Structure 1
Amino acid sequence: MRIRKLLALLLAAAAALCLPACGGSTSGSNAGKTADESKTEITAWAWDDNFNVKALRLAKERYEAEHPDVTLTVISQSLNDVVQKLNTAFAAESYDGLPNIVLIEDYRVGGYLDVFPGSLRDLSSIINADDWMPYKLSAFTRDGKIYGVPFDSAVCGMFYRVDFLEQAGYTGEDLNNITWSEYIEIGKKVKEATGVSMLEQTSGDLTLMKILMQSAGTWYVNEDNTSLNIAGNPVIKEAMQVYKDLMDAGIVMNFPGWDEKVRGIQNGDLATIVDGCWISATIKTAEDQSGKWALKPIPRMDHVEGAVNASNVGGSSWYVVDKVANADVAENFLKETFASDTGFLNELVNEIGLFSSHKSDGSFTNYEAQDAFFGNQKIWEDFAAWAELVPQVPYGINTYNIDDIVEEELQTVLQGGDIDAALSAIESRAAQIGQIG
């Protein structure tokens, strides 16, 4: 309990720095009746107008048509603003200004559930656990209670340029369920034949490390979601070795940021992209490359028993702030839309490119559609099949803070440093931020 209280105080102190700029757009005290006294108002926060916010607005239209006595106000905010406001309010136990419904990243929600219990509503009654992929539910399940409604998931795939692989003498069949060592050898031949890099790495981005870890069923913490699992962890050690082998092979193109990565894709600088399913929309912005891309499962780690050719990276879910007025109405909104309306989830495949992690995804009609950009491959059907293989892991409460430490220590490994020493240093430093049982 002392650690929880300490972490809460630290979060409050950090978030307090933004208080002047982080006033709520809609006050909890305003949540209730609208100017039209016959209507009940609820509010929802999310970021990304073209994805999360758009989905909310489509859900609003659907729900209000059936419930004319309810008005949902959708408020678009940056991810950083959402995080800062939640941290400040939960640490102070002051809910005025918070929304009824909020989108929270799966990597981050553990901190709210474990450090601020009671802040988010138990939604077990509106979720049928058997309908959803276990790896998705595990992020927000505590003591058998489910606190979130799944939204986007990011099951991973290996997108590849058919023409570049063919120039190096490979077909799509040569990429089926390969290992990372096989991937590296293919990458060397592709680079030699085409001059194109096999993979990319964006500065400050640990996407690949996360993909590697989850593909073998491990994370920074143990199953108790608290005690550290880094020093001596054979999976994280192998993940670091794979990362170093990729860099040493000279087949990785480094980008300083996201915009440069997008331009690299559009310029045809990459032979493959190993990432979450959502990257498909970015790849398709290179319209002149239509028909040149296809999709295969990600590689698996060679020397880790149980490693699979499937993983997940990121994703978010919907939550109800329990102590804001009209929480029951907010819960019902989620129940009738994202939690159970598979027709709506199917619609969102076309509207925003959603992969929801619902077990019915594979049978959604929009998942069965061929995608001309990817050579008429049914890419969403493939993602749905791979999602069933993704290992379930605990994300703990400090994924992003530990990421920062891993990134620093990984640089020492790339320069020839000992991996075991790096893992010990990561765990020692991570323990100082309270992530220890």
Structure 2
Amino acid sequence: MIKSKISKVFLLRLMSNTSFRALRICVALLTLLLMISCSTHTEVQNAKDNSIKSTDDVRNSKSVMALPSEEQRVKQVDNDGKNEDSSLLSVPDSAAQKNPTLIENASTTSEYKAESIILGRYSIDNPHVQKYAEAIITQVDSKTYNIDLNTVIGESRNKGKLSGKFIIDSGVIKFLDSKYADVSLKFNDNKLIVSYPDKYKFGEPYAEPLGTYYLTETSSTSTDGFLDNLFKSIKSDKQLEHNVKVIADNGTQLILVETLGADDKTIIKSDLVIYDKQKNFNHLGATLPERWDQLKEQLKTYDFWNDAINYALKNQYINRYFSIYLESSDAGNKRTAARGNNWLTDQECFYVVTGIAGKTKYEINNPEGRDGGSILIYEIEKSTKEAVVVHAYEESIEGQSLKTLDRFKVDRITGNVKSQYEK
């Protein structure tokens, strides 16, 4: 409109006066018109550029705006003052107990093929939020798969469930049951990521079957090499039975591999493995008490939170402590207030260390001991109001003391186990 008016004025003046002065006015007005035109074009272009940049920022922010993963949420609790000596039963407050999940936008799901679906068992095993969940992926026929996913939340025993058949349609995973139409499944390396909008409820409070599940066992027909390479990294026969637990994942995964005995299925060895962003396996070795301090320092360099490190090193002891806690809770026994500091009994402390219930002393033959054999003995050496010390030592068959293996101090309240080798 401004350009049109100026043009009309210019023409009128040019027709009424042909003097040199009019010519000068003509040149001046033409220059003004040119400046206005250039300025208008620049503003429009800048507006377009800003609009495109704004759109890109919104697109890029989708992954950042996701709800925090379990690891991130518990790490925040840790940063707010929790340390490895605090009670392992500490649970984040109600604001922090949002459904622990890693939400992925369904529209960004990769194009899948049949070989993308890894059949087997996936799990979450995280005592810091007392969430235990398992997803089993099976194949129904050449085109159809099934997921059976169950969750349970610690003391409340709240449960969640998601079970249904799905197919790959034009490279996209789709459920056959319409109630799961907005549920997204994403397979990524050793991960299964389950997400859906907040309006859907497939579980009781805090037990929604959302989150990142990790491959722990593959079916006999699976051709996936992840677990094969994992077992190879610790030099363990893949034919043996293993418990695989991803303890933490901040881009680099901290994996605990427990090797079970062929006969009694007891844990004969526990190994820690780092699985990095370049998909390399780094075996850190066995989680022996005399190596706990060394392993702690190594794991801190990967920026894992303190409780994750503690759980990785003392997994068996922590799980036994939780079993006592949950069993007591199920029985309606909230012993803490009634018994003061004496939350765990002597026998329970002994169980946390050895896995042997109802005893304060236990002996086992050790055929690999000195002079054709010896006896391994665990017994309570000291009991105070705050803690119990369990002495582990070796004795000859004739009863001669050979050597001390370890002294484990168990905190009666937190259940924390400290080896004599720890600082």
TM range (shorter): under 0.3
Give the TM-score of the pair, scaled to structure 2: 0.24
Specify the structure having the higher radius of gyration (Cα).
2
Name which structure has the greater RCO, CA cutoff 8 Å, separation 6+.
Answer: 1
Higher strand share: 2
